[in-house]
Amino acid sequence: MHSHITFGYPWQIFYGHLILTCILAPLLWLAFKRGWPVWVRITFALLTFWAVSAAAVVHFEFGLDRVPALTTESFLKSGTGKVLDMGAGTGRSSIMVLQARPNATLVALDQFGASYEQHFGEAGAPQQVLDIGQKRLHANFEAAGVDQRASILQGDMRKMPVETASFDAVVSAYAIDHLNREGRHAAISEANRALRPGGEFLLIVVTKDFWLNYTFGPLMLHGRMPSQQSWIDALEKYGFQVIESGTPPGTLYFLAKKK
């Protein structure tokens, strides 16, 4: 059994602001010690405050390096059922569901392709990326103690290799929002096809809110993001009824039911 979970998001996300703090704090100290002009001292003080507070937001609010609490307790309230994770990556959203719902089983679907390489830095031949991705995901499931209830499936979430109406619930976190409009619509329609009638879909996406702009500003490479209403419109268009939505920092989530 592996001792700890490693989600493998780029280190710059976690340590970038701390590195900046290590550079800015001594400069601030020097500015006061040497009596540099007031505007220089104020600038360094503001920049240092921003770097420290942004590091705190990244660590305590975004927490991409740990398993988050289930986004909404209303998801899979029965506590049991077969769940599909669309765009499982290194397992953060899968483990979130499996730990919160200890009687559920889960299929973790990912393409393990270009988008995987881009997020988790696993460049190489397609077969290599697939092998490493699957191994890493399995290792994380083992480390989290959920491997007996999880299986891994390679596939494109726009056209999934799964039976129609074969899942009780679908989760997808920070994955469908990486597709273009056509891809997003295809994936939402596929989520609906995979679910049995009355099945639940927990869709979690990135949103450029105050917190994301505060921490990463122009460095955030997600391009133009759909509004909350356009996600709701797309969900309704493909046969879902949205029963809950929320806006935790940097995130939009929707809990929808297949009509």
Ligand X SMILES: C[S@@+](CC[C@H](N)C(=O)[O-])C[C@H]1O[C@@H](n2cnc3c(N)ncnc32)[C@H](O)[C@@H]1O
Kindly report the backbone phi and psi dihedral angles of residue 149, in degrees, each rounded to the nearest multiple of 5, phi listed first. Answer: -110, 5
Binds ligand X (CB under 6 A): choice among 175, 188, 203, 255: 175
For residue 102, give the 3-state DSSP assignment: coil
Residues β-bridged to residue 85? 108, 171
Tell me the per-residue interface mask from 34 to 73 with ligand X, x by CB under 6 A, - otherwise.
Answer: ----------------------------------------
Which residue lies nearer to ligand X by CB, 21 or 111? 111
Mark the segment that binds ligand X (CB under 6 A) among 45-53, 70-78, 162-170, 174-182.
174-182
DSSP H or E run through 220? none
What minimum distance in Å lies between the beta carbon of 45 and ligand X? 35
Q: How many angstroms separate the CA atoms of 81 and 63, rounded?
A: 27
Q: What phi-psi label fits residue 91: left (phi over 0), alpha (psi between -120 and 50 degrees) or beta? A: left
Residues with Cβ < 8 Å from 118, sequence gap 6 or more? Answer: none
Tell me the per-residue interface mask from 127 to 166 with ligand X, x by CB under 6 A, - otherwise.
Answer: -----------------------------xxx--------
What minimum distance in Å lies between the beta carbon of 247 and ligand X? 17
Q: How many angstroms separate the CA atoms of 186 and 28, rounded?
A: 51
Site residues for ligand X per CB under 6 A: 87-89, 92-93, 110-111, 115-116, 119, 156-158, 173-175, 178
